[in-house]
Amino acid sequence: MRRWVTYILFIMATVGINAQQYTETQPDSTYYSRALELILKRDYEKARSILHQGLTFATGEIRIKSIQKIGLSWYFEGCVLKLQNKNKEAYRCFIEARKSFQEISDKGDEMSVLKQMAEIEKRFYSADEAMERYNEVVNIARQIPDTLMWIDALKGQSGVLKELGEWEEYLQLSLRLDSLMSNVGDVNIQMELNYERGDNAQKLWGNNALAESFYLKNLSLIPNLQEEVRNSQLFITSLRLCDLKIIQKKYDDALKYNTCCLSCYASEFSLASANRYSPYRNRAYIYQKMGLKDSAFCYMDSLFLSHQLKSVSMETVAGHYVQRGLLYANFDEYDLAIADYKYADSLLSVRYPEDSNSRMHILLAMANCWYHKKDFAVAKKNYSHYSVLCKSKYGDQSMEYANSLYYLANIEGFTNEKQVGCKDYRQAAILLKELIKKQLRYLPTNARTKYWNDLSDILWNMTAYAVKIGVRQESFACDAYNALVFSKGLILESERSMRNLLRQSGTEEDLILYNKMLLLQSRLTEVGRTTGKETENANELYFQIDQIDKQLASKCSFYGNYTQFLNTQYEDIKNALKEGEVAIDFTDFKLDSVHCYAAYILRKEWEYPLLVPLFNQNQLDSLYNTVNNITDRLYHFPYSQSLLKLCWESLSHYIHMGETVYYVPAGTLHQLSLESVAVTSDSILGDQYHFIRLSSTREICRRELQQTGHTSAVLYGGLYYDVDLSVMDAESKKYDISRLFALRGGTMASDSVYRYLPMTQEEVNSIADLLGGCRIDTTVYTRTQGTEESFFHLDGQAPQIIHLATHGFYYTPTDAENVSRLAGYQNAMLLSGVIMSGGNAGWKGTMLPEGVLDGIMTADDISRLNLKGADLVVLSACDTGLGSINPEGVFGLQRAFKKAGVQTLVMSLWGVSDWTTKEFMVHFYRNLAENGWNKRKAFEDAKAFIRQTYPEPFYWAGFIMLD
């Protein structure tokens, strides 16, 4: 009997479906037919008794078939016992099943048995034994050959290695698996590969659009399948697409795919079949997400129609009550939810121990309901019991146990058990950080962001918990701050560290692979704009990137640990502070559904950091509304007083006049220049303190490594955005804009072109003279010379100073829909950038000669470069400090240059005047040369000069310097 028939029989045996239609024609024998009926009724022992009696006189084909059915009866019985968590009994059944299959050399069914044995060994006995069982499957599959089973066995082995944390072996096996699947032409394996890649794109990369392209590819392959499996594959593919659309919150599309699932089951199963109703649960869930309560419960109640069928299993009934309980809970009907959970648990308790997965999930769901009912005593009892079970089942170093401690700590906070709550939360955070440090270094770059997002809540929420329970300056404040330092910029730092490690320790082949991966990622991004048009290209690019990424992750783990930066803690930072220095690390978080802000203050003499709650986002938004969202007005007196009250007043009590203040923004504060806020009508905060803006307080520990002198510089300015100078000249004469209102950004340009910025030529000429006078080797690119190609040529050989005087841009995805060059992009790294020579051709979509870059240099482009060694990059352009803000920081040009390895950035927060920018930059470089290359002092002096000449904050407050 073929393996697929065996699998179908197993499914039907466990749910009680009449499977006769799925079996092949059997030899005509009364005892044999009777035994088959008993197998389908799950009376396995009696079926075997009849078959053994028949063997005394059976010969030829009927004997072989009888032995096979004896094996199948053991197999099915083992599967049922396994579902009931009776694993020892199940394992004994599988041993007997294997003996029968070996007797008749039934390799296909023997492999199915070995897989079941491996799953039990993996979960309850020995990972080594599980690996050995899978190896046996691999050896048999290679002999037959059966590529599908071979692939299944390798997947099983990779799962074991992943659970063991054997990441290097896991990556090597993944490469082997990918290679095997990609080199087989069978349509079934092509579909299996597409499922694998789609699942990885969604679950590991978080790339839903790419995942959809793989699933849609499988829809197109279904007509090429054998007729008997088309319906099941249509169901599997539609189910994946339905789930994907739910994640994307495209509920109408989800309903469409769910309708397809319903149709598949309607054609496969009769109304008397329990399986007929299974897709209704997804339907109910979609309506619940849409807020359509009546429709949701209508389909949920339809699930219960199957309960009147004799064939429906107890597990299925319990599952329906759990699902309805979840639905009740989502509509805040907690008493009804708890009643359903309790009934489901009472059913399962007959066969399953309390530490079975299903019963533990019910226990946690009930705890959540008691919490929402504000019956914290009962909730705590449930959470506590859940934690005990997690520790016993998964171990005290597991992610499951860490999560259980997190749940317990939160309820302890509500029951005023501050000390024990802090203890449990601290332990959860320590466990999580150790797991991340162990695993992150082995993860491919494309998987890290999704991995971190899935695990990070415990750490990000630690400050909210501290604020909630009244922690201010004690040991838990230190724990919460260490969690914040660990979390801020984690993905950016890991990418920088991996890149540096490859350059320091990698081979030439590694670097070639790395650069190839960057190029392929760039191509994949471009293909991603044209959804559905180039699916084949996307699939192939994805596969190549995934292969290289896994190879590099494996090699990097050998070269060294590129997650060492995660060890930086409060103690390291405070010890790096000097007398007269203080650090402020802002953070934002959700507290009782309100978006709040707080700050940690660090001083060398303090044992613990001080946690200071500040304001909420609504207060800040209200302040923006008072100035009609014209940001520079916030810096004017008296508007500034409201801003100071929110952001500074609570902090000022702990900071002495004249001190150096290192600060790290968070949330909307990334869009503000704290030092530029007016204190009085003629003074700003920066007059009272020496502010230094940082991307992370880790930078305080690294400052001894910063450069003190400079020997090389590259300057860009006076760029022509159209190659034909006469056309550019004619276009520029159409506008009569004073020198103060020629903005270095796209907002004042026409819809299709960027205008020449005359002051940028004078700017770079003056800077070049200043640097030349200091014997700094300076290269200037102007007019048609400042191409993307010339900038990319700096890769791996960056000068210490890079100056870009040109147009900058940043668009939101919504705004980008009106810009043909950017329409379709969602990633902020593709929606921000600078315009280089000839950029108008690319902006207008002009066809370029082959190999010529379009002059639109995005943040994504820059992030792929190696600019390590560049101590100072000055972005003398509009909006270069803007981007999409999330807990990782600002996704835009500042992230791009930081990822590329740059130390210090000078940027702008809004549209910058061409004339005043030129004056600011010239004074900045003059001060730099005259003050021993003290970047911070030179920057502050230049701002003070412009402020004195042009008092309006519009002209100077938008400039920021970031380390």
Please name the residues in contact with 665: beta carbons below 8 A apart, sequence gap of 6 or more.
Answer: 586, 672, 674, 693
Residue 803 scores a pLDDT above 90: yes
The pLDDT value recorded for residue 304 is 86
Question: Which is nearest to 649 in space by CA: 605, 613, 682, 610?
Answer: 613
Other Cβ atoms within 10 Å of 248 Cβ, number? 14
Pairing assessment for the beta strands 801-805 and 712-719 based on DSSP bridges: parallel
Most confident of 277-291, 594-608, 615-629, 839-853: 594-608
Dist. CA 112–CA 99, nearest whole Å? 13
Q: Which of 362-371, 743-752, 804-813 has the lowest mean pLDDT?
A: 743-752
3-state secondary structure of 690: strand
- Cβ(841)–Cβ(911) below 8 Å: no
The pLDDT value recorded for residue 4 is 32
Tokens of residue 199, six digits: 């699942």
Residue 431 scores a pLDDT above 50: yes
As a whole number, mean pLDDT of residues 575-599 equals 93
The pLDDT value recorded for residue 847 is 73
Other Cβ atoms within 10 Å of 553 Cβ, number? 23
Stretch (H or E) spanning 365: helix 357-372
Dist. CA 67–CA 169, nearest whole Å? 39
The pLDDT value recorded for residue 214 is 86
In degrees to the nearest 10, what's the CA dihedral of 194, 195, 198, 200?
-120
Instruction: Indicate the pLDDT class of residue 706, thresholds 50, 70 and 90.
Output: low
> What is the DSSP track for 880-920?
TT-EEEETTEEEEHHHHHHHHT-SEEEEESS--BHHHHHHH
Q: Which of 94-103, 217-226, 818-827, 901-910 has the lowest mean pLDDT?
A: 818-827
Q: What is the pLDDT of residues 324-365, one digit of tens each?
A: 999 999 999 999 999 999 999 999 999 889 988 899 999 999
The pLDDT value recorded for residue 786 is 87
Dist. CA 587–CA 598, nearest whole Å? 6
Dist. CA 265–CA 522, nearest whole Å? 42
Dist. CA 76–CA 99, nearest whole Å? 15
Residue 528 scores a pLDDT above 60: no
Classify residue 472 by burial, with Cβ atoms within 10 Å: 0-12, 13-18, 19+.
Answer: middle
Angle between helices 535-559 and 187-200 in degrees, nearest 10: 60
Instruction: Indicate the pLDDT class of residue 38, thresholds 50, 70 and 90.
Output: confident
Residue 155 scores a pLDDT above 70: yes
Q: According to the 3-state scheme, what is the secondary structure of 49-106? A: HHHHHHHCCCCHHHHHHHHHHHHHHHHHHHHHHHHCCCHHHHHHHHHHHHHHHHHCCC
Pairing assessment for the beta strands 883-886 and 959-962 based on DSSP bridges: unpaired
Output 552 or 648, whichever has higher pLDDT. Answer: 648
Cis peptide before 145 (omega within 30 of 0): yes
Amino acid in position 254: A
Stretch (H or E) spanning 595: strand 594-603
889: left (phi over 0), alpha (psi -120 to 50) or beta: left
- Cβ(882)–Cβ(847) below 8 Å: no
Instruction: Indicate the pLDDT class of residue 571, thresholds 50, 70 and 90.
Output: very high
Write phi, then psi, for 443 (nearest 5 degrees). -85, 140
The pLDDT value recorded for residue 57 is 80
Instruction: Please identify which residue in the block is written with the tokens 């907690």.
Output: 334
The pLDDT value recorded for residue 707 is 56
The rounded mean pLDDT for the chain is 81
Instruction: Indicate the pLDDT class of residue 394, thresholds 50, 70 and 90.
Output: confident
As a whole number, mean pLDDT of residues 858-885 equals 84
658: left (phi over 0), alpha (psi -120 to 50) or beta: left
The pLDDT value recorded for residue 269 is 75
Q: Which of 241-250, 401-410, 841-850, 934-943 has the lowest mean pLDDT?
A: 841-850
Instruction: Indicate the pLDDT class of residue 443, thresholds 50, 70 and 90.
Output: low
- Cβ(912)–Cβ(954) below 8 Å: no
Most confident of 33-42, 200-209, 296-305, 747-756: 296-305
The pLDDT value recorded for residue 464 is 93
- Cβ(154)–Cβ(173) below 8 Å: yes
Output 185 or 758, whichever has higher pLDDT. Answer: 758
Please name the residues in contact with 294: beta carbons below 8 A apart, sequence gap of 6 or more.
Answer: none
Output 744 or 112, whichever has higher pLDDT. Answer: 112
Instruction: Indicate the pLDDT class of residue 560, thresholds 50, 70 and 90.
Output: low
Contacts 24+ apart (CB under 8 A), 386-391: 386/360, 389/354, 389/355, 389/360, 389/363, 390/360
Dist. CA 467–CA 481, nearest whole Å? 12
Output 563 or 292, whichever has higher pLDDT. Answer: 292
Q: According to the 3-state scheme, what is the secondary structure of 199-248? A: HHHHHHHCCHHHHHHHHHHHHHHHHHCCHHHHHHHHHHHHHHHHHHHHHC
The pLDDT value recorded for residue 167 is 57
Dist. CA 562–CA 566, nearest whole Å? 9
Residue 531 scores a pLDDT above 90: no
Dist. CA 830–CA 865, nearest whole Å? 15
The residue ranges of DSSP E strands in 272-395, in sequence order, are none
Q: pLDDT exceeding 70 applies to what percent of the chain?
A: 83
Q: What is the pLDDT of residues 3-30, one digit of tens each?
A: 333 333 333 333 333 333 334 334 445 7
Tokens of residue 132, six digits: 């050995």
Q: Which of 239-253, 472-486, 883-897 has the lowest mean pLDDT?
A: 883-897
Angle between helices 914-930 and 935-949 in degrees, nearest 10: 140
Q: Which of 48-62, 99-113, 882-896 has the lowest mean pLDDT?
A: 882-896
Cis peptide before 638 (omega within 30 of 0): yes
Q: What is the DSSP letter of 869?
A: T
3-state secondary structure of 521: helix
Amino acid in position 937: K
Tokens of residue 788, six digits: 């993307």
Write phi, then psi, for 850 (nearest 5 degrees). -60, 130
Q: What is the pLDDT of residues 715-744, one digit of tens each?
A: 999 888 875 534 333 433 332 323 323 344
The pLDDT value recorded for residue 518 is 66
3-state secondary structure of 835: strand
Q: How many helices (H) and strands (E) does the chain have?
A: 43, 18
Most confident of 451-455, 760-764, 838-842: 760-764
